[in-house]
Structure 1
Amino acid sequence: MTTTYALLLRGINVSGHRKVPMAELRSLIEGLGHTAVRTYLQSGNAVFTTEGDEDEGEEHLTRQLEQAIEEHFGFRVDCLVRDAGYLAAVAEACPFPAEELEGKQLHVTYYSAPVGPEAFADLDPASFLPEEFRLGDRALYLYAPEGLGRSKLGEALHKPSRNKGVIATSRNWNTVAKLVEMTRD
């Protein structure tokens, strides 16, 4: 059975630190036996296909890729692997009018595990308006009209203490849509 996945790396190629060249990442993924490997942007997005059974799903691939990246590049990188169906479902479930917004105004934070509303119970949503967020399936949708860089809500949502033990990585809507497209090809 062939399955298409996206690999989302967290915190690489930022300000010259933790450099992971995309050509090397593609070669690394291919060296693990995966096929149709493509990358998108320098921020750590890859799409690949793999042969395998249900036991070798997202968690197995995440561990495999994290270990290979650490061995090859010499530092640990948190990774999330999500299959094509999940990526499409997250995009389709978006509670905001994505087609009416600029890509920089809408973001999805993908989580390694479900995160419930209790993680955000201390936030007063009204104090951040017009910014808003909604929870999804191992995902959080953030509407930030001025972009993530100026978002007070984004800053509050992504405090390291908020989701202890859960890996989180965010992508703007342009990247979300592109990864869905790439996993359909």
Structure 2
Amino acid sequence: MPSRQVALLRGINVGGRTMFPTARQRELMAELGYRDVTVHLQTGNIVLADPGTPPEQTARTIEEAVAAELGRPVAVTVRTAAELAATVEANPFPEAVAEPKTLHVVFLAEAPADPGAFDRIDAARFAPDAFRLAGREIYLWCPDGVGRSKLAATVTRTGDAVGGSATARNWNTVTRLLRLTGGA
């Protein structure tokens, strides 16, 4: 299988805002010249044949097209299949895999300029929730659910502040995207 990239669009079809039908997501990617496009779920998970451009360039191209399409900016983060495989492999919370809805990965557009900002979060205050920063990913484990997690809100805000845009996916979505790239 040829190399793939995964585009993660932030805030698509979530909570009734920024509606962008999956069929139109596929069409727009084809109009941009991307091949072998798969849209997973409705929430802006697009797998495509590697266009031969760096992920950051792919992200910019998709961001510009989506902004023109929707009339508002939408942050896009792109990872290669190899980067996504490394993210899955590096999971610091293997015990969470049994309950994948409790484990999330926050994908940062860029590595935090101030990774120390995460060190200043008093994680013990949020137990049993836990997180780990690893490069451009934040692993977030919320055993009681992410919806009401104060740690999730804190980590996401911190990620936005120090690493540009951030978008989260649950473990089921992350591993499914990896499979769609042809990875394990």
The question of a shared fold, defined as TM-score above 0.5 by the shorter chain, is answered with yes
Show the counterpart of 1:95.
Answer: 92
In structure 2, distance between residues paired with 1:34 and 1:17: 26
1:40 aligned onto 2:60: no
1:72 aligned onto 2:69: yes
Output one character per residue of 1:133-153: Cα deviation in whole Å (capped at 9) or x when no partner.
Answer: 111120000110011102121
Q: In the superposition, relative to structure 1, how do residues 126 and 99 fare at CA in structure 2: closer, same or farther (>3 Å)? A: closer
Q: For residues 93-172 of structure 1, what are the structure 2 equivalents within 5 Å?
A: 93-97=90-94, 100-115=97-112, 116-159=114-157, 163-164=161-162, 166-172=164-170
CA offset at residue 60 of structure 1? 0.9
Q: Secondary structure at the match of 1:154?
A: helix
Q: 2:131, 2:141 within 8 Å by CA — same for their partners in 1?
A: yes
Show the counterpart of 1:60.
Answer: 57
CA offset at residue 175 of structure 1? 0.4
Q: In the superposition, relative to structure 1, how do residues 5 and 162 fare at CA in structure 2: closer, same or farther (>3 Å)? A: closer
Q: 2:97, 2:103 within 8 Å by CA — same for their partners in 1?
A: no
Output one character per residue of 1:6-63: Cα deviation in whole Å (capped at 9) or x when no partner.
Answer: 01000121222211111001011011111110111111101000342xxx21111111
Output one character per residue of 1:102-149: Cα deviation in whole Å (capped at 9) or x when no partner.
Answer: 111101000011125312233211111111111112000011001110
Q: In the superposition, relative to structure 1, how do residues 136 and 160 fare at CA in structure 2: closer, same or farther (>3 Å)? A: closer
In structure 2, distance between residues paired with 1:51 and 1:17: 29
Gaps of 5+ in 1: none
In structure 2, distance between residues paired with 1:8 and 1:50: 14
Range with greater deviation from structure 2 (160-169 or 28-37):
160-169
Gaps of 5+ in 2: none
Aligned residues: 181
Q: 1:120, 1:162 within 8 Å by CA — same for their partners in 2?
A: no
List 4+ stretches of structure 1 deviating above 3 A. Answer: none
Q: TM-score of the superposition, structure 1-length normalised? A: 0.90
How big is the alpha-carbon RMSD for the aligned residues of Structure 1 and Structure 2?
1.8
In structure 1, distance between residues paired with 2:50 and 2:22: 19
Q: 2:105, 2:138 within 8 Å by CA — same for their partners in 1?
A: yes
Q: TM-score of the superposition, structure 2-length normalised? A: 0.91
In structure 1, distance between residues paired with 2:166 and 2:82: 19
Q: 2:96, 2:141 within 8 Å by CA — same for their partners in 1?
A: no
Q: Secondary structure at the match of 1:159?
A: helix
Q: 1:5, 1:82 within 8 Å by CA — same for their partners in 2?
A: yes
The percent of aligned pairs where both chains have the same amino acid is 41
